[in-house]
């Protein structure tokens, strides 16, 4: 039996959204599913140090045995569920994902977690919410990292922008726009195929989507128009999320941008789209599902959604960052858009803010530039900033996560600097994309996350390895060997400068330069706990 004394879960404090008002109590019979995320069996610190220094990488089995949930903790949660009239929805991956899914009525959830659930009306959408903390029996508190799903407010926004007339929706002719392969050409992505058809053949790119959908007919038409083989695209449902395309005014623009950019620059790669609800629970469950998905085995995951750090609970940020750290151990790279609202990240308090999960120290945060290129020649590249009437690439310094060791040589602040890298994001120099039977020009840092995911997939294939958590390597290399340094422009209060800066990070990619540098730095380094990964130099278009 669980202890009768209850304590608050650290970091679970919630307040109502500004501008929200209660419309009534949640129906006590409403069915709710929550994710109980448990602590790691042993801390990740030592294993992460080995992974970050490319000494050792874990197999899924070794990870589960070493750092997965303690089976005894899972059994205690099952006992807690039984005592509180909740049902355990078993998936079979509870140990690896450290997640136990519980289902029950709102009334049972309120009693189990000592919360009051209310219905809120808000300009951005109604939601079920709570205020205060979540409480659990004292003898369980030390095993639980967080409980998510009681509150189902929207937590993230897609970071894409259509090139439109100010204040209007719809496509118009951009002054400059590119097909994704043209952007890859400007950034000198390696083009030689090591197997199959395309430089990324053999790789799988995972994409996280918190809404919207894609139409296979649109993808067929789009890739045919580019003269490219249509990539294999499949969807995975997480927490009842579905591929639900509607109109181009919806998040369909995000989904199609992600697929078409990733597929357009990483030819030959397979694409798996993980659809999930736009809640903290959905976001975390989708990422953990993707990194532990041994059936599809994505080597890189692209995320183009996020929100200001100030809008997240501490528990949610801690849990999601820990999931990203698991990806680092398993050799999975996560690329994340840094946001489209400049140094304020859209918060109107006059302060600087950065976007999460881009601010997680275990992801590759992707900022935005304005690119003018002719074929393989970059004529100019500056920080993306369309001024007060448009968007700007997100960037700045976290208020939550301390500066990681691999940033210590270039970041003078004591907190994590964002972004790490950059790429074309300006809608004025955007991407030609097809969305719900309409051809449009789209930009935003949402385009940069799949752009870099595509490059990582190519590099993985060319190097015959999984780069995994690549940040320490990128920061340790000679910047001019793999990046175009962006030194002009600002995203609000943050300005570009030589070297790393909080607008464009290390800069935009020089794909072949990165390949050549990584060929010399990755050779003979990382091993798994079961086998050594062989690496051979592969020919590139520059050889």
- Selecting among 177, 398, 446, 508, the annotated active-site residue is 446
| 258 in catalytic set | yes
Q: 246-256 in b/e burial notation, b at 16+ Cβ within 10 A?
A: eebebbbbbbb
Number of H helices, E strands in the chain: 15, 30
- List Cα–Cα distances, 478 to 332, 353, 482, 497, 500, in angstroms: 24, 29, 7, 16, 12
Active site residue 355: no
Determine the Cα–Cα distance for residues 139 and 408; give it in Å rounded to an integer.
39
Long-range contact pairs involving 172-175 (C-beta distance under 8 Å, separation at least 24): 172/441, 173/441, 174/427, 174/428, 174/429, 174/430, 174/441, 175/428, 175/429
Is 73 a residue of the active site?
no
3-state DSSP assignment of residue 336: strand
Question: If residue 356 lies in a helix (H) or strand (E), which one and from where to where?
Answer: strand 355-356
**Gyration radius (Cα) of the chain, Å:** 22
Among 500, 490, 482, 493, CA closest to 416: 500
Could you give the 3-state DSSP secondary structure of residue 512?
Answer: helix
CA distances from 176 to 263, 344, 370, 371, 373 (A): 21, 27, 10, 9, 9
Query: Which of these is catalytic: 94, 185, 209, 254?
Result: 254
Catalytic residue among 258, 260, 381, 501: 258
Nearest to 205 by CA among 281, 280, 291: 291
Strand ranges (DSSP E) for 395-510? Answer: 396-402, 415-418, 421-424, 429-435, 438-443, 483-484, 508-509
The answer to whether 162 and 426 are in contact (CB under 8 A) is no
Q: Which residues are catalytic?
A: 254, 258, 446
């Amino acid at each position: 039996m669980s202890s009768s004394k209850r304590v608050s879960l650290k970091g679970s404090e919630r307040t109502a959204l500004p501008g929200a008002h209660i419309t009534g109590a949640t129906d006590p019979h409403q069915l709710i599913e929550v994710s109980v995320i448990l602590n790691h069996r042993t801390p990740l610190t030592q294993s992460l140090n080995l992974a970050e220094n490319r000494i050792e990488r874990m197999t899924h089995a070794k990870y589960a045995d070493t750092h997965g949930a303690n089976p005894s903790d899972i059994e205690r949660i099952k006992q807690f569920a039984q005592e509180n009239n909740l049902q355990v929805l078993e998936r079979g991956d509870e140990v690896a994902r450290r997640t136990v899914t519980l289902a029950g009525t709102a009334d049972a959830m309120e009693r189990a977690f000592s919360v009051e659930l209310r219905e809120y009306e808000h300009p951005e959408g109604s939601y079920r919410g709570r205020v205060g903390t979540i409480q659990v029996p004292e003898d369980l508190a030390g095993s639980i990292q967080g409980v998510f799903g009681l509150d189902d407010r929207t937590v993230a926004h897609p970071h894409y922008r259509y090139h439109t007339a100010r204040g209007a929706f719809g496509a118009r002719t951009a002054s400059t726009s590119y097909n994704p392969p043209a952007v890859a050409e400007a950034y000198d992505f390696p083009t030689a195929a090591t197997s199959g058809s395309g430089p990324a053949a053999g790789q799988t790119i995972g994409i996280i989507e918190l809404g919207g959908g894609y139409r296979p007919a649109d993808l067929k038409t789009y890739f045919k128009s580019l003269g490219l083989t249509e990539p294999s695209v499949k969807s995975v449902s997480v927490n009842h999320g579905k591929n639900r395309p509607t109109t181009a005014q919806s998040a369909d623009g995000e989904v199609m941008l992600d697929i078409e950019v990733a597929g357009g620059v990483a030819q030959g790669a397979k694409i798996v789209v993980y659809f999930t609800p736009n809640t903290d629970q959905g976001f975390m469950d989708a990422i953990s599902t993707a990194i532990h998905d041994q059936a599809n085995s994505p080597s890189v995951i692209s995320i183009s959604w996020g929100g200001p750090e100030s809008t997240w609970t501490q528990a949610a940020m801690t849990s999601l960052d820990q999931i990203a750290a698991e990806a680092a151990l398993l050799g999975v790279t996560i690329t994340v858009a840094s946001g489209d609202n400049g140094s304020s990240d859209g918060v109107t308090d006059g302060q600087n803010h950065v976007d999460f999960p881009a601010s997680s120290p275990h992801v590759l945060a992707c900022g935005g530039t304005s690119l003018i290129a002719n074929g393989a020649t970059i004529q100019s590249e500056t920080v993306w900033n369309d001024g007060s009437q448009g968007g700007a690439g997100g960037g700045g310094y976290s208020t939550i996560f301390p500066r990681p060791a691999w940033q210590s040589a270039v970041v003078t602040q004591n907190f994590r600097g964002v972004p790490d890298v950059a790429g074309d994001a300006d809608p004025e120099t955007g991407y030609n994309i097809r969305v719900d039977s309409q051809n449009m020009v789209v930009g935003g840092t949402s385009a940069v996350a799949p752009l870099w995911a595509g490059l990582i997939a190519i590099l993985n294939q060319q190097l015959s390895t999984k780069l995994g958590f690549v940040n320490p390597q990128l920061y340790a290399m000679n910047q001019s060997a793999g990046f175009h340094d962006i030194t002009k422009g600002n995203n609000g209060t943050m300005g570009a400068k030589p070297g790393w800066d909080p607008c464009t990070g290390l800069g935009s990619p020089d794909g072949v330069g990165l390949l050549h540098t990584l060929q010399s730095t990755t050779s003979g380094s990382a091993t798994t706990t079961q086998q050594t990964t062989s690496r051979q130099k592969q020919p590139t278009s520059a050889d």
